[in-house]
Each structure stands twice: as structure tokens, then as C-alpha cells.
Structure 1
Amino acid sequence: MTFRKNKNQDPSIIVHSLKSLIQEISDWRNLFRTEWPMLLLLIGGITILLFASEPFPPRNIYLAVGQEGSSFEQLGKKFKPYFADEGITLNLVNTSGYTASMQAISSPESTLNAAFSLAGIAPKGRYPNLQTLGSIEYVPLWLFHRGIKLDTSTVMTAFKNEKIAIGPEGSGTDILSSRLLSLTELNADDNPNFLHLSNLEATDKLINGEIFGMFIADAENSPSLKKLLKQDDLKIFNFEYAQAISKKMPILSPVVLPKGSLDLRHQRPAQDINMLATTATLIIKKDTHPAIQHIFMSAAERISRDLDPLFSNPDFFPVYLDHNLPLSPIASRYYDKGAPALEGKMPLWVVSYLDKIWLLLVGAFAVIFPLFKLFPNYRHTRAILLISNAYEDLLQIEREAQETTESQKLLTLLERLQEVNLDTLKISIPADEMNRLYSFRGSLNTVRQLIANKIKENEK
């Protein structure tokens, strides 16, 4: 193809660029044809690296949400759409309570990936394969009862002689209420009046008058609590010494149920009620896929922002409060730097994958970049290599010419010289490498003249 018909015509950038592109493509074809083992090895290595770093999250996730009808179950349902948006199914698994959830998720054979729990209950160091993503909302410890208005000086005496539900055995409610009762030297294990009932069963028995009271650690949106809060004949115990109790039980924080917050029209409750609360924490297995953790964190922030809580500022959660379990590194970066910059612009699994391997990419870039710089200039590099090879052939021909006086061998060397010359004419030479070609051809002519002179000497 002729790009320039008139030697006096001004050079065209477009024509030059097109010609360079055609030559570059031609040389890249040569690269793939001659260096295919190296390229195949490189592609294979990159593929292995990508899959070894687990870019794709599992399609099914299992979350333990405690008792049926609990606020944890309601909270779990709010997470489901966020996972569905990413093409992942969040399966909610009911358990009898805290102990069952922790035993299940900590088991290597368990299919559970995450669990809701109450902050401060997990003994420090007992679950080395678990981490936390932080607390999501306050979970108050409610004490509903019937009959007279109890104060802190009479409640424990009354409880010794009345049937009180303290939650299923091993549940968060059981652990918190038992520790609270022990502060006044009441041992829940030794008193037959303290009953291990599920929230649903205890609620029905309390409403029907079969028991005197019940503890329940749950948020106000749980079905059981909604049912209890509608009962005008049930009272909420006022922990007047909530501040003192929180000093004895640091896992509980003093909170206040404001006057009229349940029903402003009918002023329920009629006065501020001092209460105690822990928080709902999200626990995960340490090897949980980073994309799953990102979805949990993003969903937790949005869900807590949309809550209408009685006890906290919506902007307070999620937050790392329970230090009995280590904070996940993914969650730590989320708290320190916020959501990844690309969140919302691409699937979260892609965002989390980039967040996971960016350090690896930086290290790989430092190694690969010097090599990569060679590829866009492969046409230059290939031309230099081919001319260098031609110089080596030329040197060998010159040495053989110096060592022989036989006319027939000199003629053979002359033919080989012509072949080398023709090969160099086939090389795709960038304009800024032309000097190498013509320098070589000057050397080639010198050797040709040497051989020609020796042939003339033999003819004399």
C-alpha cells in the first residue's frame, strides 16, 4: 500500500498513525506466533491467581436468627432483599437461642455463615474461628409482670414466690436474666419458679395469667413484644438502679423508655421507665467471603438508618461495641473509611474483590509494568532483535571469508550474504530505527567488498 504519492507532500499524522497501527498489528501477530508458550503460561498464571483468590461469592448464605418470632428473625428478613439484589439467597435459620446459634456457627461442619447474637455474652477467646461485623441495634432486657407495681426493693422477694419465665435455656435472655438475678443472690438454677420457656410460650402464659412475669431480651418490633405491649394489664418493670447494675454488668447499658413513646395519645407509658439494654451483634465465620461481609455491612448501615428506634439515634449503628470477639478486617476498613468508593456503581462482589486484591495488584504492577512497557514497543524491540541477529550472521560470514581462499566457498558466502540482505529487507522497521538498518547495510557492503576482492585475487 502506498501512503505517500508525492515526495513533496506534507506528512499526514493520520496516514502515519494508520501505517504504524498496521505494522504494530503485524508484529503482534509475530509475537503470538513465536512467543505463545510464554503468553500461555502468563494467561494460565493469571487465571489461577484469579480463582485462587475466590472472586465469586457463594450463591446461598445461612444466617442464624434465634427463636421463631424474635426481633432477630424480623431483622434477618430485612437483610434478604439486599442479598437478593446481588443475586444471593439469604436463608434464615431458627435456633433455640444464643447457645445453639454459637455452637452451630462455630462448628467446622456447619453450613451457617453468620448469626445474630447479643453483645457481651460470648466469652472472650472461646471462638477463635469467629469474628464480628459490629452491633446493629439496641436490644433491651424487658421485664413484664402483672399485679402490683414493683420497685427494686420488692421485686426479687416477689420473684422468689412467683413463676417467672427467663427464656429458653442457653438463650441470650436466659444468660442476661440469670446474671441479673444473681446480683441479688437469686440462683435461677436452684429456684423451680424460674422457667425456661420460649418467648412465644411465655408470652401466651403471661397474657393468660399462668405466670407472674417474664424476661425477654428483644427489640420492640418482635411479634412477642408487640403482643405484650398491647396488654394494658401488664406492667414494664422500672430498673431504678440501672446505672448501678450496668457497673456490675458492663454488657448492659442503661437506657430510658420515654414517657408516651409507646402510645403518645394515651400516654403509655405514663412515666419514663429506666431499662437495661445490650446490642444485637452480627457474628460471622472468619473465612466468610469478603463480598458477603460487604453486603452485610452495607445492608446494616441502611437498615439501621431506616429504623425508628426507641432507644438510640439512627446514625449510631452499626458500631463496634462488643470486644469479646475480634472485628473483621473488612468491617474495620468499613468503619474507618466508609463504604468503598465504587459501591453502587458495580456489583458488590466486584467492589469487594477489588478491595481484597488491590495490594496484590500494586505488587504485581511493580513487577509486570517493566515487562509490559516492552509490549507496546514490540515492533521496535523485534526490529532491533532481528537486526542484531543479522549482525551475528554477518560476523560469521566475515570470519569464514577471512579463513578461506577457495573461490567456490567464497561464492557460497556471497550467496549467504545476499540471503541475509534480503531477510533484512523484510523486517518491519519503525522510522526511528531506520539508522540501524542502514548502518547494518553499510557493514554488509563492507563484507561483500571483502569477499569480492578475495575472489578477484584468486582469478589473477
Structure 2
Amino acid sequence: MPKIKFTLISTKDALIAFGPIALMIIAVILAAYYVVDPAPGRTLDFSAGQENSAYERFAKQYADELAQNQITLRIHKSQGSQENLQHIADLDSKIDIGFVQSGSTTEKDAQEKGLISLGSLFYEPIWIFYRGKKEVTSLAEFKAKRVNVGPDGFGVRRLFQQLLSVNNLDENQLEIHQLESTPATVAFVNEQIDVLVMSSASDSQLIQMLLQTPGVKLFDFVQAEAYTRRFPFLSHVVLPRGIVDMGRDIPSRDYHLISPTATLVAHESLHPALISLFLQAAKKIHGGANWFSKQGEFPSDRYTEITVEPQAEKFYKSGPPFLQRYLSFWMSNFLERMWVLFIAFGALALPLSKIIPPLYVWRVRSRIYRWYGQLRSVEHALDEASPEQRQQIAQQQLQRLNEIENKVNHISIPLAYAEELYGLRSHIQFVRKRVQNGV
């Protein structure tokens, strides 16, 4: 006789009762993982700036920060803000995000192109260097001078045109040169250019070198406050006396400058979860104090004409998302994306808990109850037999009862339902006695 296993539960019946629903839940979770608010990509393309520029240097720092969360940031060189704007707006270029100088576009144009701002990162003052014994106090005094404003892709040229316009000048009244920063600086030092216009962060090596070069003067925007009223994307900043070299007292006085800001601009298709990640990196990279900004002044939702994305605004008000403060980026992102599914599953848990256990019980008891149909057929056969055939039918049904009993004795059933099994066996004996007495 085969050995009968005594178990508390029936594994087979449990799998049949719970299995389909469990598989359905797993399938829904997997489908939701890929379909409901897809996960952010692990590779992004970043449009920075020229080689060895502040934009390129900062882009590399962002790449290092994002690499800690298993995200690869591919850095692309460009001519500057205008080129970055074009690449970000053009979905075929596959550029996701980049640096753009404030004032490079308008709010209306940015909205039409699907551009969003993650905020401003640092000041990029307008530096105008010139030579001469006389102090220049107005841009109008540069009329007919050889002025370098950088290539067309640079945001500084567009900005300088705006500055000229409020001084009743245009580029036709100047001899415009369009060299990049390094060759332009060499040409300026060699007196091949009279005026050098640049826009850069204070830690630029070219800027620091020019500030300490004998004979080179820095234009003082004495009307700085007026410029900022005419152009809201500009800020009035002060280069403090002695900030470059206190020992040599460079500069020897405070200089007033006007400054756009470098902003982080992306296409509206950028995954929302990445916005917070970029801003956390921005806080580490740009949050310190420097020549023009205080500790914690940047990143900021101010100084940008491009609409700041709502997710970024939320970051500036309350910091990183709650889960990202305690969990890894990918784990917190998974939980944030799946919360709808978890709520739906929780709503289904109560009705499922009432359906599945009875289904399991029915599966186990059905192995017993189906034999009662066989017992009823035995009784029915005996009741329908004629007196002449009754003895023969009784012998046949007794043989059938023996077969039923033999099969019942081999049923494997959980111990919790043993009472039903023994009840069936006693009922088989009851029917056998009835058949024997009916002969």
C-alpha cells in the first residue's frame, strides 16, 4: 500500500487556489513597472559649452554626481547658450538637458519649444575689459572700437546687442569680432582687439588673469541698477575690493557689474524623478559661497525667464522627495511610481482574503464529497432493482462499495479535514449494511 502523507495543508490545492491570483498580481506589477509612468533612463545627454570652459567643468561634476546613482551623463561640447537651446528643443538631437544663460530666449519662445527651467545655478557677470588712461563710464564710448563678443552661439553676443540698444548704439557702429574666449584673450593682450566682452563665472582662469594684467581696465557699470530694471533677467552684483588679491589690493575698489545667471534647462519630456536628482547635485556643486554669491544662494528658482518646472519649485520649497532622503534613488523611484498599484492592491486584499480561503476549503472537501454521489448511485441501483434481480444487484453493488472504499482509503487529505474523511468511511459502512440487509 502506498504511503499516505499526513500534512496540515494541501500544497497542491493551495497552489491551485492561490496560484492564478498570485500570477495575475505579479503580471500586473511587471506591466505597471514598464507601462505606468516608465522608469527614467540610465543614460542622459548633456549639452555643456566649449572645451575647458566653466560649463564643461561643471558638466563633469554633474556626471560624477549622477554616476553615484548609476546614471551615465554624456557630455557634448557646444558654442554656448544659443546652440544649447537649439539642441534641447530639437528632439532629434537627443540632448536632454544643458546650461543656458539667462536672457538667451523669451518665456513665450521657451514655452512654444517645450523648454523648462530647473533654476539658476551661478552668476555669470558681463566682463568688459579695455585699455586706456581714461576711465570709461558709458558703453557709448566704445563707438568705432574693435570689440570681440564671441561667436554667434555665445549668449554674450545677444546680451551685448541688448545693452547697446539702450545706449542708442548698434553693432554697425562698432568693429565686431567673433573669436572664441581663448584666442580673443590672446588677441586682446597683443592689442589686436580694443575691447573684450565676456560672460563667465568668477573662477574662470582667463578672467582672473585679465584682472591681474597691468594696463587692462575693467568696465565699471555705474548704471548697473538701471540695467537690471530694463532687463529683469540681469542682477546687480559687486566685485569687492581686494577679492582677487588682498595683498596687492586687486581690485583697488569695488566694481559694479551686471550679471545674467547660468540656468539648467531641459526639455519638458525629461523624467520628473531626474529633476530632483539634478537639483540635489546642483546644491552640492553650486551651493557654496564665491565672489558674488552667498552660501546657499544657489541653486535658485529666480533669475530665469524660462518657466521653472513645478517639480523643481517643489524642491526649492521642501527639498528632495521624502523617500529619496532615506532610500536609494532607484528604490525610492520604484516606490513612488508603484504607489497607485499598491493602493489598488490594498483595496483588493480584503475581498481576495474572503474569496481565496473558501476556494481552498472547497478544493479539499470536493475530494471527499464527490464520493457521496457514488454512494447515492449504489443506493439508487438497489432501490430500482426488481425482486428477482435484487440479489444479483446487491452483490454487484457490494463489489462496487469495496472498490469505492479502497480508493477512499488512499485519499491524501490535510489533517484539519480528517473528520470529513472518517465520516465518509463510516457512511460507506452504513450503505454496505443497508445493501446487505436489503438482500
TM-score by length of 1: 0.78
Cα distance in 2 for residues equivalent to 1:176 and 1:54? 39
- 1:145 maps to 2:123: no
Structure 1 residue 404, shift from structure 2 partner: 5.7
Contact conserved, 1:421 with 1:441, CA < 8 A, in 2?
no
Structure 1 residue 249, shift from structure 2 partner: 0.4
- 1:226 maps to 2:226: no
Give the secondary structure class of the aligned counterpart of 1:269: coil
Alignment counterpart, residue 184 of structure 1, candidates 167, 178, 186: 167
What's 1:387 paired with? 365
Deviates more, 1:105-114 or 1:191-200: 191-200
Cα distance in 2 for residues equivalent to 1:247 and 1:131? 24
Cα distance in 2 for residues equivalent to 1:142 and 1:369? 66
What's 1:102 paired with? 85
Cα distance in 1 for residues equivalent to 2:118 and 2:403? 75
Count of aligned positions:
422
One-letter code aligned to 2:214: D
Cα distance in 2 for residues equivalent to 1:325 and 1:23? 67
Cα distance in 2 for residues equivalent to 1:395 and 1:93? 79
1:279-325 superposed Cα distances (whole Å, 9 cap, x missing partner): 111112333345644442221111123x4411111212112125643
Contact conserved, 1:74 with 1:222, CA < 8 A, in 2?
no
1:327-382 superposed Cα distances (whole Å, 9 cap, x missing partner): 34543443333234555866433333333x1433433433453477579x86x862
Structure 1 residue 37, shift from structure 2 partner: 5.8
One-letter code aligned to 1:132: S
Contact conserved, 1:166 with 1:178, CA < 8 A, in 2?
no
What's 1:17 paired with? none
Structure 1 residue 54, shift from structure 2 partner: 4.3
Cα distance in 1 for residues equivalent to 2:409 and 2:309? 67
Cα distance in 2 for residues equivalent to 1:382 and 1:214? 84
Give the secondary structure class of the aligned counterpart of 1:176: helix
Alignment counterpart, residue 91 of structure 1, candidates 74, 82, 105: 74
- 1:337 maps to 2:322: no
Cα distance in 1 for residues equivalent to 2:429 and 2:108? 84
What's 1:352 paired with? 333
Contact conserved, 1:173 with 1:216, CA < 8 A, in 2?
yes
Give the secondary structure class of the aligned counterpart of 2:220: coil
One-letter code aligned to 1:390: I
Alignment counterpart, residue 60 of structure 2, candidates 64, 67, 77: 77
Cα distance in 1 for residues equivalent to 2:92 and 2:181? 29
Note the 1:39-438 alignment, pairs <5 A: 39-52=22-35, 54-55=38-39, 57-58=41-42, 60-127=43-110, 128-152=113-137, 155-188=138-171, 190-289=172-271, 292-305=274-287, 307-321=288-302, 324-341=305-322, 343=324, 347-355=328-336, 357-370=337-350, 373=353, 382-387=360-365, 390-391=368-369, 394=372, 397-398=375-376, 401=379, 405=383, 406=385, 407-408=393-394, 411=398, 414=401, 418=405, 422=409, 426-430=412-416, 438=419
Structure 1 residue 55, shift from structure 2 partner: 3.9
Contact conserved, 1:239 with 1:273, CA < 8 A, in 2?
yes
Cα distance in 2 for residues equivalent to 1:330 and 1:413? 76
Structure 1 residue 268, shift from structure 2 partner: 1.7
Give the secondary structure class of the aligned counterpart of 2:125: strand
Give the secondary structure class of the aligned counterpart of 2:123: strand
Unmatched segments (≥5 aa) in structure 1: 1-19
Cα distance in 2 for residues equivalent to 1:372 and 1:322? 54
1:412-456 superposed Cα distances (whole Å, 9 cap, x missing partner): 774576478547x622144xxx5xx6368558756864x457525
Structure 1 residue 105, shift from structure 2 partner: 1.9
Contact conserved, 1:139 with 1:280, CA < 8 A, in 2?
yes
1:138-178 superposed Cα distances (whole Å, 9 cap, x missing partner): 221222222145454xx233111212222322421112111
Distance change (3 Å), C-alpha of 1:265 and 1:370: same
Cα distance in 2 for residues equivalent to 1:269 and 1:372? 76
Identity of aligned residues (%): 24
Distance change (3 Å), C-alpha of 1:159 and 1:387: same
1:374-419 superposed Cα distances (whole Å, 9 cap, x missing partner): 79x86x8624532256346536754774586144475477457647
Cα distance in 2 for residues equivalent to 1:179 and 1:296? 31
Higher relative contact order (CA 8 A, sep 6+): 2
Distance change (3 Å), C-alpha of 1:132 and 1:400: farther
What's 2:390 paired with? none
Contact conserved, 2:140 with 2:167, CA < 8 A, in 1?
no
Structure 1 residue 248, shift from structure 2 partner: 0.8
* Alpha-carbon RMSD: 3.5
Give the secondary structure class of the aligned counterpart of 2:297: coil
One-letter code aligned to 2:97: A
Contact conserved, 1:206 with 1:212, CA < 8 A, in 2?
yes
